Amino acid sequence: MVQLIPIIYWTKWFDSHQWEGYNIDTCELPYHCQLTHDRNQLTDSSVVIFHASDMNDKKDMPPMKKDRAWVYHNAEAPKYQPEIIDKMQYSMTYRLDSDFLWGYLEKDHLLQQMQKPRNKQQFKRKTPVAWIVSNCKASNYRHHYVRELSKWIDVDIYGHCMNNQQYPDNTTTIDLISQYHFYLSFENSNCKDYVTEKLSNTYVAGSIPIVDGPSDYGPFIPNTHSVIRVDQFEHPKELATYLQRVLADKTLYDSYFDYRRENGLSDRFLSTLDAYKQGKCNLCKLAYERYTNMSLYYPGKKIYLDNTCIDYKHYSFTKTSLWRIYLPLMVLILIVSLCSSKVRRVLALFKKTHEEDDDSPKYPPALTAKYTIHEKKLGVGSFAVVKECSERSTGEKYAVKIILKKVIAGKEHMLDSELDILKKVRHEHIVSLHDIFEDTNAVYIISDLCTGGELFQRIVERGTYTEAVASDLVRQMLEGLAYLHSQNIVHRDIKPENLLFKTPAENAELLITDFGLSKLLKNNNEVLTTACGTPGYVAPEVLLGTGHGKPVDIWSVGVIMYTLLSGYTPFYGEDQNELFDSIMKGKYDFDDEYWEDISDEAKNMINRLLTFDPKERVTAEEALKDVWITSEEDNGINLAPNVRKGFNSRRTLKSLVTAVAAINKWKQAEHPTLEEEEEENKKVGEEEAQ
């Protein structure tokens, strides 16, 4: 008799005992496994499964044992459950990189149904398109698309949302879908690998699926011509026109069912079906090996908090599309135009509060008791002055960022956000916070003093500069960002001026600085909509107003890497509008004059970083594994002459607000004309009197 290994399914499955008695017995193993919801069998089980959607009571968990594995099961879009997830050892989800892949595609049943000849005599309703829907608040706003599509082609809608049809009695989902030529297999979330029975049911029913879900459907469809993707059409009207064309062209219509012919299934699809089956077998192996005290199967990969979903999906046909594009552009242009006047105001106010020769204390006593503030100004921004200071007891030098309260009035939340982030982060490639002081005039932030200069400044000064040097610099940026992103922090202003070397030494660490625009996400699914960043480095999704997150930092690294290797930027324009237009198109090239000595690996890395679709853009963790980063080889070609030539080119100066332009603005602000200084002092005096 075959040994039966119990696996406890501790929670319910959507409030039911769905998995009671479920057998894993087709793996050609000398033992079988059986799932049970019977908690009385806990002592006999070495694996315990928890379903994400049914874990409402965090205290309802069995005692942990060294040889008992805890498995986190989730078949829906990722949930933000850090306290629960941290206790788990393995993941069992639809994601292809799960420890135990467990999805909606049952290999044997699906192949049996899909390889049947299509019944061409199957009754089809006059209405060509159907949609069955229960979730009325899908995060990808799919109902907006369906509502617009319905204006151009008839759609029968069943379920709880927008329904215009009653669900027929004694009819299965597959039977109902089979009565339509097309079925809207729209997922309720647009997440990596998230494909449900909405797709497989359509194939079994013998209809053509219209899909909107993950960006890569390849692993889940029989072949590339077996679905119709909505993202291939700019407007639902275009999709409706195409559907009418398919209906009118029998050859085109029949081509969507070529997968039912012999050898019509792609190897990629078959591999996915095998992987789904193997996932359950691997779970059974784990249960057996833990149960018999054999060596551990393998450590879990902990992938379940990795956010790969987009909560908000913007469709270009919506009425808000124009203002969502142009309002962020207008805001960015306004920010740039006001920058220099704000800096002059900061300097004038700082002079009045901290430099005028009177008897009032210039700094908090607690600050001056611990630190000596030096005269040297390191920089001036729109809200603060940065000076050098040294700790009295050790002589160690630091930077003190003096944020003037009058300047940030009404924007205190930005300062609070920056301080919250600085208190939270500790990493070798991120500037560290050491102290905070406050008085009636300002907030004083003591942090690392970076004396090695800005990124591009050092590159221009180098005599020899190779790809290996550039690779090491990009690696340090990515390591810092990987840490920030793991803490759910988006920097949102990665640019050369915010990348400083800690010391002048040749092997000095590169630090990410200035968290004034950074955002601590409430959860992995939060989408940001406020337009911010520096024009040349801002990602297209920020300009398009479609919502953004961690991928914007990766785009900025791509722009910087491109510039590090060539000396000029990938996107440019004769003015700000042309620059933004260039970024929103996302097109760039590798001019032979500057790129003929650059490796293909470097160009491929740039392409991954500058992928237009943020869903497809590489993550910091993934980029760190790229061969261009991990390889120790160096072709030894000195890029310095070409890079310096690129830095001096007209194209670079026209393309963005570069470090040189920023320095020039600061110099103009620090040494204003007499008329400008008198005007700013007058404004400050008027504000003081109010």
Examine the pLDDT at 649 and tell me if it is beyond 60: no
Residue 352 and residue 229 share a domain: no
Residue 76: name the closest of 216, 196, 209 by CA.
196
In 134-235, beta strands by DSSP E: 155-159, 182-186, 190-191, 208-212, 228-229
Residue 287: name the closest of 69, 92, 25, 27 by CA.
69
Residue 138 and residue 62 share a domain: no
Predicted pLDDT of residue 333: 53
Residue 502 and residue 431 share a domain: no
680 vs 225, residue with greater confidence:
225
Encode pLDDT of 161-219 as tens digits. Answer: 788 888 998 899 999 999 999 999 998 888 888 898 999 999 999 999 999 888 888 89
From the centroid of its chain, how far is CA 29?
Answer: 40
Residue 616, both tokens: 């497809």
Residue where a domain stops, chosen among 416, 449, 482: 449
Residue numbers of the domain that contains 595: 455-668
Residue 358 and residue 276 share a domain: no
Examine the pLDDT at 409 and tell me if it is beyond 60: yes
Encode pLDDT of 349-382 as tens digits. Answer: 887 777 766 666 789 999 999 999 998 888 887 7
Q: Is the pTM of this model over 0.75?
A: no
Predicted pLDDT of residue 390: 95
Examine the pLDDT at 654 and tell me if it is beyond 70: no
For the chain, the domain total comes to: 4
Residue 413, both tokens: 């939340």
Predicted pLDDT of residue 186: 92
Predicted pLDDT of residue 688: 42
Encode pLDDT of 23-68 as tens digits. Answer: 999 899 999 999 999 999 998 888 999 998 888 766 788 887 777 8
Examine the pLDDT at 398 and tell me if it is beyond 90: yes
> Contact at 8 Å (CB) between 73 and 93?
yes
Alpha helices in 351-466 (DSSP H): 365-370, 412-424, 455-461
- How would you classify residue 447: left for phi > 0, otherwise alpha for psi between -120 and 50, otherwise beta? beta
Give the position of tokens 């050790």. 394
The answer to whether residue 86 is domain-embedded is: yes
Torsion 521-526-532-537 (CA) sign = positive
Predicted pLDDT of residue 58: 66
Domain at 591, CATH number = 1.10.510.10
Predicted pLDDT of residue 655: 38
Encode pLDDT of 273-285 as tens digits. Answer: 999 889 999 999 9
Taking the C-alpha atoms of residue 195 and residue 275, their distance in angstroms, rounded to an integer, is 14
Predicted pLDDT of residue 294: 58
Going from the C-alpha of 585 to that of each of 323, 574, 618, the distances in angstroms are 18, 16, 19
Residue 259 and residue 183 share a domain: yes
Residue 178 and residue 83 share a domain: no
Lowest mean pLDDT among 70-84, 192-206, 425-439, 546-560: 70-84
Residues 6+ apart with CB under 8 A from 647: 456, 460, 567, 568
Examine the pLDDT at 95 and tell me if it is beyond 60: yes
Is residue 589 flagged as an active site residue? no
Residue 610, both tokens: 């500058």
CB-CB neighbours of 320 under 10 Å: 11
> Contact at 8 Å (CB) between 6 and 45?
yes
- How would you classify residue 666: left for phi > 0, otherwise alpha for psi between -120 and 50, otherwise beta? alpha
Going from the C-alpha of 78 to that of each of 73, 347, 651, the distances in angstroms are 10, 48, 44
The answer to whether residue 680 is domain-embedded is: no
Residue 551 and residue 610 share a domain: yes
Residue where a domain stops, chosen among 449, 464, 487: 449
Predicted pLDDT of residue 657: 36
> Contact at 8 Å (CB) between 430 and 494?
no
The answer to whether residue 684 is domain-embedded is: no
Average of per-residue pLDDT across 620-642: 90
Torsion 233-237-239-241 (CA) sign = negative
Examine the pLDDT at 317 and tell me if it is beyond 70: no
Residue 127 and residue 86 share a domain: no
The answer to whether residue 545 is domain-embedded is: yes
Encode pLDDT of 661-677 as tens digits. Answer: 333 333 334 334 333 43
Average of per-residue pLDDT across 233-259: 93
Residue 302, both tokens: 């902990």
Average of per-residue pLDDT across 529-539: 78
* Bridge partners (DSSP) listed for residue 23: 34
Give the position of tokens 């960015």. 332
Domain at 198, CATH number = 3.40.50.11660
Average pLDDT over the chain reads: 82
- Is 411 annotated as a binding-site member? yes
Predicted pLDDT of residue 360: 64
Residue where a domain stops, chosen among 244, 264, 284: 264
Encode pLDDT of 440-450 as tens digits. Answer: 889 999 999 99
Residue 301 and residue 428 share a domain: no
The answer to whether residue 205 is domain-embedded is: yes
Taking the C-alpha atoms of residue 382 and residue 516, their distance in angstroms, rounded to an integer, is 11
Average of per-residue pLDDT across 320-335: 49
Predicted pLDDT of residue 411: 79
Encode pLDDT of 561-574 as tens digits. Answer: 999 998 888 987 76
213 vs 532, residue with greater confidence:
213
The answer to whether residue 330 is domain-embedded is: no
Residue 603 and residue 491 share a domain: yes
The answer to whether residue 179 is domain-embedded is: yes
Predicted pLDDT of residue 112: 83
Examine the pLDDT at 245 and tell me if it is beyond 70: yes
Helices 551-566 and 600-609: crossing angle in degrees, nearest 10, is 150
The answer to whether residue 675 is domain-embedded is: no
Residue 443 and residue 584 share a domain: no
Backbone phi, psi, residue 97, to 5°: -100, 20
281 vs 104, residue with greater confidence:
281
Domain at 350, CATH number = 3.30.200.20
380 vs 484, residue with greater confidence:
484
Alpha helices in 311-454 (DSSP H): 321-350, 365-370, 412-424
307 pLDDT tier (thresholds 50, 70, 90): low
Predicted pLDDT of residue 30: 93
Lowest mean pLDDT among 87-96, 174-183, 387-396: 87-96
Residue 613 and residue 519 share a domain: yes
Q: Which of 493, 514, 553, 626 is catalytic?
A: 493
Average of per-residue pLDDT across 112-130: 83
